[in-house]
Amino acid sequence: MVADWSALPRQIVHALDRPKTLDELAAQLHVTDARVLWYLDRLRAADLVGERDGKWSRTDQSNVILTSPEPATDDQSIMPGRTVYDFQQAYADAAAGMFGLEFVQQSAEHGARISLQQATEFRERLFALVAEYFAPGKGDRTATKYGFHWVLTPTDLHPIKVDPPE
């Protein structure tokens, strides 16, 4: 049986309603071919998919993943529950006027292909910035309390075919 790596292996098997090439699967699923191939190799090892003449298809064993229940996708499987609660509540409190008219609130999501060296440097610079503003004794006890949560994690592999610089 396949471990619950993520929803992507299940999506790959579902997408194989007919034999497809790696490029077709990657395009349909909107992920890099390298990422799809990584999971295809594991699905093949579990005897859930096979490849012939450059096309991937389901095996008879694929019913294991096609008929098994979807994995739970509650907020806690994405981000720790307390973090989710804190930020949902903070946005609700701000909308209700708890912080008055003057406060700073921002959220954003960014992604880029960077080297391990760049990611390490970013992490170290971010740690330094967090320590400068959020370390014990650094703040103003009479000011509004701000929270800062962040995640730095790989989100995809580089495509097998070289793509133009971003």
Name the nearest CA neighbour of 154 among 106, 105, 119.
119
Q: Output DSSP code: residue 157.
A: P
Tens-place pLDDT, residues 130-153: 999 888 888 888 888 888 777 777
In a domain, 30, yes or no: yes
Please report whether residue 161 resides in a domain.
no
Contacts of 162 (CB under 8 A, 6+ apart): none
Residue 163 lies in a domain: no
Are both 63 and 80 inside the same structural domain? no
CATH code of the domain containing 30:
1.10.10.10
Answer yes or no: is 130 within a domain: yes
Same domain, 42 and 94: no
* Domain assignment of residue 114, given as a range: 75-134
Using CA atoms, how far apart are residues 64 and 58, in angstroms rounded to an integer?
Answer: 11
Same domain, 61 and 82: no
Tokens 């490029």: give the residue.
23
User: What pLDDT score was predicted for residue 75?
Assistant: 43
Is pLDDT above 80 for 88? no
Nearest to 111 by CA among 58, 153, 65, 69: 153
φ, ψ for residue 128, nearest 5 deg: -65, -40
Q: Is the pLDDT of residue 3 over 50?
A: no
92, part of any domain: yes
Asked if residue 44 and residue 95 are part of one domain, the reply reads no
Q: Is residue 146 part of a domain?
A: no
Domain count, the chain: 2
**Rounded to two decimals, what is the model's pTM?**
0.60
